[in-house]
């Protein structure tokens, strides 16, 4: 494995500067969700995006940005949330894109906030913290989290896939509401 991770403290509300070399472990605040989505958007080949968040608000998708510039046709999206209402919000905002695969689950016991992305090229990013997919989390609250960024060939390369497996397990314990919300393509199992 190559590359010792750089540890960066970034509690500023400003976007994360691109001054460090990946791999990195970033300790930060509310801006980390925006920064995570920025990393996903830079991956032009697509990959697998897993989201676990109990609460979702409609306006969060514009505040966190980049959802409309993702390579949807090459990106699989799997989301698990705490309520049918939150699932419907995800459906309303994200099913309009032509994802390569799309699935939404409801797990009533969900409290975790995890965002994990693995690009087809091997790079990955994972945000674990207090960030719901909400305007409050992205713009107002004092959030805290850790963003792990990997080239895929370093000591952090196993983290995002491990969190994706955990989100898969959460999904299996939850109720699949994708078909009941609208006819969208689901992940094959």
Q: Each residue of 94-105: pLDDT tens digit?
A: 988 999 999 999
Question: How many structural domains comprise the chain?
Answer: 1
Residue 2 lies in a domain: no
Q: Which residue has the higher pLDDT, 4 or 164?
A: 164
Structure tokens at 85: 């209402």
CATH at 153:
3.30.870.10
Residue 11 lies in a domain: no
Structure tokens at 54: 């109990």
pTM for this structure? 0.90
| Percent of the chain scoring above 70 in pLDDT | 89
DSSP 86: H
pLDDT of residue 178: 67
Residue 9 lies in a domain: no
Nearest to 121 by CA among 46, 10, 40: 46
Structural domain of 134: 23-180
Task: Judge if the upstream peptide bond of residue 23 is cis by omega within 30 degrees of 0.
Answer: yes
């Amino acid at each position: 494995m190559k590359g010792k991770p750089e540890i960066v403290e970034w509690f500023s509300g400003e976007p994360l500067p691109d001054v460090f070399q990946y791999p990195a472990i970033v300790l930060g605040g509310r801006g980390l969700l925006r920064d995570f989505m920025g990393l996903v958007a830079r991956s032009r080949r697509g990959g697998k995006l897993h989201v676990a968040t109990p609460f979702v608000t409609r306006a969060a998708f514009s505040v966190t940005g980049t959802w409309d510039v993702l390579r949807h046709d090459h990106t699989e999206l799997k989301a698990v949330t705490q309520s049918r209402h939150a699932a419907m919000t995800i459906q309303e905002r994200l099913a309009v894109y032509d994802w390569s695969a799309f699935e939404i689950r409801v797990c009533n016991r969900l409290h975790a906030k995890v965002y994990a992305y693995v690009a087809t090229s091997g790079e990955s990013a994972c945000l674990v913290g207090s960030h719901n997919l909400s305007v409050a989390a992205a713009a107002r609250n004092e959030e805290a989290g850790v963003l792990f960024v990997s080239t895929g060939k370093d000591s952090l390369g196993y983290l995002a896939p491990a969190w994706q497996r955990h989100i898969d397990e959460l999904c299996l314990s939850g109720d699949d509401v994708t078909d009941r919300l609208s006819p969208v393509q689901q992940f094959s199992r």
